[in-house]
Amino acid sequence: MKGAVLNQIPGQLEIEEISIDNPTGDEILIQTANAGLCHSDLHFMEGHWQTRLPAVMGHEAAGIVEAVGENVQYVKPGDRVITCLSIFCGSCNFCLGGRMSLCQNFSATARPKGAAPRVTNKDGDSLAQFARLGAFAEQMLVHQNAVVSIREEMPLDKAALIGCGVTTGMGAVFRTARIEPGSTVCVIGAGGVGLSAVQAARIAGAGRLIVVDITADKLAKATEVGATDVVNGAETDAVEAVKELSGGGVDYAFEAIGLKKTVEQAWGMLAVGGTATVIGMMPFGETVEIPGYEIFMQEKTLQGSMMGSNQFRTDMPRFVDMYLDGRLMLDEMVSQHLPLEKINDGYAAMQRGELARTVVDFG
């Protein structure tokens, strides 16, 4: 089968002929239907982050179960699933405490040391699965705790987006920040993740819902999915503009880009008592600076959101329902479909700040 492999950092994806093992124990073999292009992979390709190489990249996918290991009872061949990189062990303090997206017990859901690799290249050498998924491939071999089963009516190209961007953006609003109806919200960055945060804020009943981006297309898309006001950060001071629009600052700011400057903007545009939630993946080692007195005198909060603080087996089917009942606008977020061979074109468009989401079609 074919997969998109990253062989060096920085580097582009290379389409290679690769092999995948049969599922054993808790594993599931999935026929990948669609995979979305999330910016997180691009951070590695551009050299802002390191990962084990060579790696089959991709981590935002949906597909159909092809075969299961002998311990798997959760799904059966033919079931439609979304994958999630928040693979839970189910027995650590985080999992048992309801914060499964923080599970660090990686070895519990991996093959034991010394076992045959799940994925190999044409020479038989081991390939890493990026984010323990490796979604840019015609098939995926993953632990059963990396999938959620979904309704048959759900189109798999839209379902793929729920695999990362949608769950991350919506979860940041619903689970991490838990915004109140009527509260003022600003989302900085209107890519797949930011637009999902905008939709969650709209669904949760936000009051003023302001979006900052640097391209007119993204701002138009933000308005289409629920922004009440938009600010072009390339043309105007985003902090001053948002403060003016919100009457002094917002209750909740979400940063969905991954830049020091925009994280500091998210803090700077908060009202007294406000909360800034960082979703964007800042370059590894980057630090942020915020004025110390505002933390205690103004009771402002800076917090992070990893994969939307998800409980994905609960959250993702809810997002599927919200799409099917018309509240979650995913058709508007799929900007283009590409075959795997053209995947680097999709990332080039992302580097130019174009398109909400590109989706790879398999088969």
Ligand X SMILES: NC(=O)c1ccc[n+]([C@@H]2O[C@H](COP(=O)([O-])OP(=O)(O)OC[C@H]3O[C@@H](n4cnc5c(N)ncnc54)[C@H](O)[C@@H]3O)[C@@H](O)[C@H]2O)c1
Cα distances (angstroms) measured from residue 193 to each of 36, 62, 152, 273, 347 = 12, 17, 25, 25, 15
Mark whether 126 is an active-site residue: no
Question: Whose Cβ is closer to ligand X: residue 20's or residue 256's?
Answer: 256
Residue 21's φ and ψ, nearest 5 degrees, are -80, 175
Q: Is 79 left (phi over 0), alpha (psi -120 to 50) or beta?
A: beta
Part of the chain binding ligand X (CB under 6 A), chosen from 105-113, 177-185, 245-253, 300-308: 300-308
Mark whether 40 is an active-site residue: yes
Instruction: Please select the residue that binds ligand X; options are 13, 20, 38, 241, rule is CB under 6 A.
Output: 38
49 residue type, one letter: W
Mark whether 91 is an active-site residue: no
Part of the chain binding ligand X (CB under 6 A), chosen from 17-25, 129-137, 154-162, 305-313: 305-313
Task: Find the catalytic residue in 164, 196, 305, 309.
Answer: 164
Question: Whose Cβ is closer to ligand X: residue 121's or residue 196's?
Answer: 196
Mark whether 164 is an active-site residue: yes
Q: Which residues, in sequence order, are bridge partners of residue 19? A: 120
DSSP string over 24-89: -TTEEEEEEEEEE--HHHHHHHTTSS---SSEE----EEEEEEEE-TT--S--TT-EEEE-S----
Strand 357-361 versus strand 334-339 pairing type: parallel
Mark whether 337 is an active-site residue: no
Burial class (CB in 10 A: 0-12, 13-18, 19+), 326: exposed
Distance of CA 28 to the CA centre of its chain: 22
Q: Is the peptide bond before 339 cis (omega within 30 degrees of 0)?
A: no
Instruction: Please select the residue that binds ligand X; options are 54, 63, 163, 165, rule is CB under 6 A.
Output: 165
Part of the chain binding ligand X (CB under 6 A), chosen from 68-76, 118-126, 177-185, 252-260: 252-260
Count residues near Zn ion (CB under 5 A): 8
Task: Find the catalytic residue in 19, 39, 40, 337.
Answer: 40
- Specify whether the CB–CB gap between 140 and 83 falls below 8 A: yes
Note whether 40 binds Zn ion by CB under 5 A: yes
Note whether 194 binds ligand X by CB under 6 A: yes
Note whether 281 binds ligand X by CB under 6 A: yes
The partner in contact with residue 92, picked from Zn ion, ligand X, none with C-beta cut-offs of 5 to 8 angstroms by kind, is: Zn ion
- Secondary structure E strands in the chain: 2-6, 13-17, 19-20, 27-36, 55-56, 61-68, 80-83, 119-120, 128-129, 139-143, 147-149, 185-188, 209-213, 229-232, 250-255, 270-278, 301-304, 334-339, 357-361
The partner in contact with residue 189, picked from Zn ion, ligand X, none with C-beta cut-offs of 5 to 8 angstroms by kind, is: ligand X
Question: Whose Cβ is closer to Zn ion: residue 39's or residue 208's?
Answer: 39
Part of the chain binding ligand X (CB under 6 A), chosen from 50-58, 111-119, 124-132, 208-216: 208-216
What 3 state SS string does 283-315 have?
CCCCCCCCCHHHHHHCCCEEEECCHHHCCHHHH
Note whether 89 binds Zn ion by CB under 5 A: yes
Note whether 208 binds ligand X by CB under 6 A: no
The partner in contact with residue 43, picked from Zn ion, ligand X, none with C-beta cut-offs of 5 to 8 angstroms by kind, is: ligand X
Note whether 218 binds ligand X by CB under 6 A: yes
14 Cβ contact partners less than 8 Å away, ≥ 6 residues apart: 4, 5, 6, 7
Instruction: Please select the residue that binds ligand X; options are 162, 193, 271, 359, rule is CB under 6 A.
Output: 193
Note whether 335 binds Zn ion by CB under 5 A: no
Using CB under 6 A as the criterion, what x/- string covers residues 86-105 for binding ligand X?
--------------------
For the annotated catalytic residues, the residue numbers are 38, 40, 43, 59, 164
Residues that bind Zn ion (CB under 5 A): 38, 40, 89, 92, 95, 103, 105, 164
Residues that bind ligand X (CB under 6 A): 38-40, 43, 164-165, 168, 188-194, 212-215, 218, 233, 256-259, 262, 279-281, 305-307, 350, 353
